């Protein structure tokens, strides 16, 4: 598939401040957009209303301005578009490709012998820890359920092997085969969320006209699920450019959950944007340097 203009997006979750890993991804997006004359969009992936806050959105905008990353105005907020995700969900539901599930993470961990690429207990339908009788009774009472994709039925609707175009951090295209079976019956809609990441991201990328997805290698396994959903929903497949990760001193990727040092923290201790850009490979070396490990 050829695109008239490249459209990229930086899509953070506003549940904390950005760290160097986010900075690397934002700068990779901005660098590619500048080199090829493409557009760079900003998206706030904020369907988790319990953890996403307006002050974190403001902090992200502050961090991007400090880095010198300019996105187009009027970012898309997932929380503003539940109807878009519902339309996609209803398309799958109407074909019998989803089912309700009341299994908790703890219950799944106790009964499932498989793990998905993220290390979580893997679910393959029907429900593994809750009986069909209990499911029907709780549905009748209006108890909110999570809704999972029936992978076996979905695979039958897409009998051919699925692939996506992958560029990594270079310019040479390779073709990667999707392996959605590794994820089992993923949740598409949470008990209190109109869509989880996998469904929302493929809908968003289509509606925003995204042609190239630039994101970390930690998300590359998820692309198998996204490729399946694109096929089931008749959505276009963008080009993917999964990049290296920024690691800490112990060789672990940076994360908000691990309280990795944020860009705001770096500013407070006197680090400037030129030092960050140089350390991440997006500017000339400056003194004093900051140590960064990319892998």
The domain that holds 37 is classified in CATH as 3.40.50.620
Q: Render pLDDT for 203-235 as a digit per residue (tens, 0 to 9).
A: 999 999 999 999 999 999 999 999 999 999 999
184 within some domain: yes
Catalytic residue numbers read 256
2 within some domain: no
Q: Which of 206, 91, 80, 93 is nearest to 147 (CA)?
A: 93
Q: Is 253 helix (H, G, I), strand (E, B) or coil?
A: strand
Q: Render pLDDT for 20-66 as a digit per residue (tens, 0 to 9).
A: 999 999 999 999 999 989 999 999 999 998 899 999 999 999 999 99
57 within some domain: yes
237 within some domain: yes
Looking at per-residue confidence, does 73 or 256 come out higher? 73
C-alpha to C-alpha distance for 193 and 191, rounded to whole angstroms: 6
136 within some domain: yes
274 CB-near residues (< 8 Å, 6+ apart) = 283, 286
Give the relative orientation of helices 197-207 and 82-93 as an angle to the nearest 10 degrees.
110
H/E segment holding residue 157: helix 151-157
Q: Which two tokens stand for residue 105?
A: 């993470």
**125-146 per-residue burial string, b: 16 or more CB within 10 A, e: under 16:** bebbbbeeeebeeeeeeeeebb
Per the structure, the complete domain to which residue 280 belongs is given by 7-294
Q: For residue 33, how many C-alpha atoms fall within 13 Å in the half-sphere facing its CB?
A: 23
- Domain count of the chain? 1
Instruction: Please give the pLDDT value at position 287.
Output: 85
162 within some domain: yes
212 within some domain: yes
pTM score, whole prediction: 0.94
Instruction: Please give the pLDDT value at position 75.
Output: 97
C-alpha to C-alpha distance for 198 and 210, rounded to whole angstroms: 16
120 within some domain: yes
């Amino acid at each position: 598939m050829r695109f008239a203009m490249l459209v990229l997006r930086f899509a953070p979750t506003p549940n904390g401040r950005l760290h160097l890993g986010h900075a690397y991804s934002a700068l990779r997006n901005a660098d590619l957009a500048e080199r090829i004359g493409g557009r760079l969009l900003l998206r706030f992936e904020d369907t988790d209303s319990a953890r996403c806050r307006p002050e974190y959105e403001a902090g992200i905008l502050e961090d991007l301005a400090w880095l010198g990353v300019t996105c187009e105005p009027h970012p898309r907020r997932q929380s503003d578009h539940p109807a878009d995700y519902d339309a996609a969900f209803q398309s799958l539901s109407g074909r019998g490709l989803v089912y309700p599930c009341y299994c908790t993470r703890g219950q799944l961990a106790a009964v499932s012998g498989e793990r998905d690429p993220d290390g979580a207990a893997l679910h393959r339908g029907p429900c593994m820890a809750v009986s069909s009788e209990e499911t029907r009774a709780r549905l009748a009472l209006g108890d909110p359920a999570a809704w999972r994709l029936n992978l076996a039925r979905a695979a039958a609707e897409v009998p051919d092997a699925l692939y996506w175009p992958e560029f990594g951090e270079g310019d040479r295209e390779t073709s990667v085969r999707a392996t959605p079976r590794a994820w089992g019956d993923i949740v598409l809609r949470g008990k209190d969320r109109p869509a989880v990441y996998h469904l929302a991201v493929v809908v968003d990328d289509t509606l925003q006209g995204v042609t190239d997805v630039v994101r970390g290698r930690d998300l590359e396994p998820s692309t198998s699920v996204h490729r399946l959903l694109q096929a089931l929903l008749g959505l276009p497949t963008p080009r993917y450019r999964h990049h290296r990760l920024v690691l800490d001193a112990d060789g672990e990727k940076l994360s908000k959950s691990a309280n990795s040092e944020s860009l705001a923290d770096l500013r407070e201790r006197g680090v400037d944007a030129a030092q960050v850009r140089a350390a991440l490979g997006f500017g000339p070396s400056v003194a004093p340097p900051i140590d960064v490990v990319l892998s």
